[in-house]
Amino acid sequence: MMILQVQDVTKRFGGLQALTDVTFDLPEGQILGLIGPNGAGKTTLFNVINGVYAPNKGKIVFRGEDITGKPSYEVARRGLARAHQVVRPLHDLTVRENVMVGACFGREGHSLAAAVQKADAALAQVGLAARADQPSGLLNVAQKKRLELARALAARPYLLLLDEVLAGLNPTEIAEMVDTILKIRDEGITILMIEHVMQAVMSISDRIIVLDYGQLIAQGKPEEVAANPQVIEAYLGDPEMTARLMAE
């Protein structure tokens, strides 16, 4: 089953063409990596998928339903959650209270009482259970990334959009986060992730799609995409470096 179908999506901002006729499918249960240079349109595509922007042309189909142009809160209610690149927790709230927001406004729309249990389960899932009662402002960068992930998981999504959740992490933290992402996938949540840490995204993705100047220039298995001359020229750079990357 295709959980997500993006069909001929085009997005313009005045005279800037951010996306042009982007089309791809995401089967249920997979991890799909989205890569490309800075400014390629990756975050804009996320914003169109989860309802921040309506496309100028094209269609977004989620679990068989056309959700094109629906506001983000309606998309979240249908089971599509997102972890943002820039993490901005509510610093005056505890770690648990931040995650409760996801449970209250997610697919199941829990009451505050029920949201406590969902929040604690999500915090355990990402390894933050011991910090549940701490103010979120005391967390370091890696912990805030996990908090953002827990908030999205508390929404009980079918599909999770991850926007550079590995950015700013050291190698140990990256390895731990990759392990967490794989466990989330193994629990039945489909994942679409933007990432610049190539070794990580290539190692965990079932498939990769590549954007450049708002256009989809390649898609396929990681090894196929890494060997694509157009991708190497646009993004990955030296072919020998790419071969070493894929061998690691």
pLDDT in tens, 157-174: 999 999 999 988 999 999
The residue behind tokens 């800075």 is 38
Whether the pLDDT of residue 57 is over 50: the answer is yes
pLDDT digit string, tens, across residues 132-163 = 999 999 999 899 999 999 999 999 999 999 99
* Mean pLDDT of all residues in 57-74: 96
pLDDT at 242: 52
Q: What are 206-239's pLDDT values in tens digits?
A: 999 999 999 999 999 999 998 898 888 877 665 5
Side-by-side strand order, sheet with 159-163: 80-83, 159-163, 190-194, 31-35, 207-212, 215-220
Instruction: Give start-end residues of each CATH 3.40.50.300 domain in the chain.
Output: 1-79+158-248
Backbone dihedral region for residue 55 (phi beyond 0: left; psi -120 to 50: alpha; all else: beta): beta
**pLDDT at residue 22 greater than cutoff 70:** yes
- Mind listing the pLDDT tens digit for each residue in 23-34? 999 999 999 999
% of the chain with per-residue pLDDT over 70: 95
Judged against a pLDDT cut of 90, whether residue 45 lies above it is answered with yes
Query: Any idea which fold 1-79+158-248 has?
Result: Rossmann fold (3.40.50)
Phi, psi of 220 (to 5 degrees): 155, -170
Q: What pLDDT sits at residue 46?
A: 97
